[in-house]
Structure 1
Amino acid sequence: MLRPARVLPVAAIAASLAMTTFFAASSASAAGANYVALGDSYSAGVGAGSYLSDSGSCKRSTNAYAYLWKNAHAPSSFRFVACSGARTGDVLNNQISALSSSTTLVSITIGGNDAGFGDTMKTCVLSSDSDCLNAVNSGENYARNTLPGQLDRVYDAIHAKAPRAHVVVLGYPHLYKVGGSCIFGIGDTKRAAIDKAADTLDEVIAKRAADHGFAFGDVRGIFAGHEICGSSTAWLHSTTLPVDESYHPKAAGQSGGYLPVFSRS
């Protein structure tokens, strides 16, 4: 059965759950939150540098939006379990256990790896336009037909483990500014197809989040102009070393893009 959407902003979690007198959303009220950050590399902060030594190959960054929010608001508790490469099954098997009935705030990005984001980007960078378009179409078909059920299982598990939590599901940005300033790299046919795939993925994620009563944080607008080939400072890596940081937000993308969207969702 679908649940009604929660509408409390992130900063009001503690005020709504723990205080007897209403206060406007503020960092003081956020201090009462029990926050768990789930998800994949976009939540872990891959590409943002400053990785926590105990996170290993998960590459959790102190520049990730979740860690930045924690530093700004000093919640009562903070569990940071997002991990590079995570799929929906990894969240269920390795991350959900961080939640409890006392959890009041949850953030997550998930679904891109299930839909084959990494393989699609590899094909688009190394192969022909037609191969790229075929890979994108395959990923979009997966997102429309298979991913919804996988997201439902994750979202159901989050609600079951943390029934009082305000859950913010964040989406993925467009990677490229089509018709932008890049001279080298892939062409606009591929760039447009990759951005279209992000739209499809975000639409599926937003619908499933809404149907479970979760907030959806759409980052596409705030990243506009900061994509690869954009006219402003790029918030996303193009092909880079280490390779796993390619096509991920830089520290500026976490602080300037993901953090404000999360904070107001």
Structure 2
Amino acid sequence: MTTLFAASSANAAGVNYVALGDSYSSGVGAGSYLSDSGSCKRSTNAYPYLWKNAHAPSSFKFVACSGARTGDILNSQISALDASTTLVSISVGGNDAGFADTMQTCVLDGDQECIDAVNVAKNYATTTLPGQLDKVYSAIKAKAPNAHVVVLGYPHIYKVGGSCIFGIGDTKRAAINGAADTLDSVLAKRAANAGFAFGDVRSIFNEHEICGSLTTWLNSTTLPVDESYHPKASGHSGGYLPVFSAL
């Protein structure tokens, strides 16, 4: 496996790469969307596309889609895999746990409503999501038995105690980051059980979160609203791409 991926950065001949997943893999929020991707919002600035440009794999299938849940991976994305697939990336789980709705509650309602919503999401992530992830990971192994699979996690959205005057307070920010931690720990464990690599992006995003001291790699509340709380192009090139490439 190592020799295959130690191919020079300019050439990954023999690598057949399939990028599965949700909006964090399709590149929602990163702009420059492929015209044929429609509401899936697949971006040429997303980490799978950047990796493809840098490594020139023999084949590249980009099927990640905004809003995708585990069921969508099984129903409409997994068919992109076959026995010749050698590399797979995937981020999924945030939509299953209701992350977008939780963010909306935290932005619009009070601290307690936010904490309650986060706790519902965390409970889902620890009780229901593991079984759903296992189904997805098993299906990936069955369809692409020869593939090296990298599961990508989610960053902290906010820097708690950061430099923001406006927006939500630190109580909510800490709660939202806690939801990301719970989700990432579940993803890491299920990925390990499946024999997949896990890409933890939290440390590389440190200080690049909303309210961080460095350039923000994430969109705050923005229009169109579906791009809020998603990585900008800089979050894909500076955050996700190096973590994925290292694995």
TM-score range, shorter chain: over 0.9
Post-superposition CA distance 1:15-35 (Å, at most 9, x none)? xxxxxxxxx442256232000
Q: What is the TM-score when the length of structure 1 is the normalising length? A: 0.92
Aligned to 2:137: 155
1:207 to 2:198 alignment: no
Distance 2:138 2:165 in 1: 45
Q: What is the TM-score when the length of structure 2 is the normalising length? A: 0.98
How many residue pairs were aligned?
247
Quick one: which amino acid aligns to residue 218 of structure 1? D
Unaligned 5+ segments in structure 1 are 1-7, 15-23
Distance 1:244 1:264 in 2: 29
1:143 to 2:125 alignment: yes
- What is the aligned-residue RMSD (CA, Å)? 1.0
1:164 to 2:155 alignment: no
Aligned to 2:4: 13
Distance 2:14 2:41 in 1: 27
Distance 2:48 2:68 in 1: 16
SS at match of 1:222: coil
Distance 1:184 1:28 in 2: 44
SS at match of 1:31: strand
Alpha carbons 2:40, 2:66 under 8 Å: kept: yes
Percent identity over the alignment is 80
Distance 1:42 1:13 in 2: 26
* Among candidates 31, 47, 55, match of residue 73 of structure 1: 55
In the TM superposition, 1:1-265 aligns within 5 A as 8=1, 12-13=3-4, 24-27=6-9, 30-265=12-247
Distance 2:146 2:4 in 1: 10
Unaligned 5+ segments in structure 2 are none
Aligned to 1:5: none
Post-superposition CA distance 1:118-143 (Å, at most 9, x none)? 00000000001000000000000000
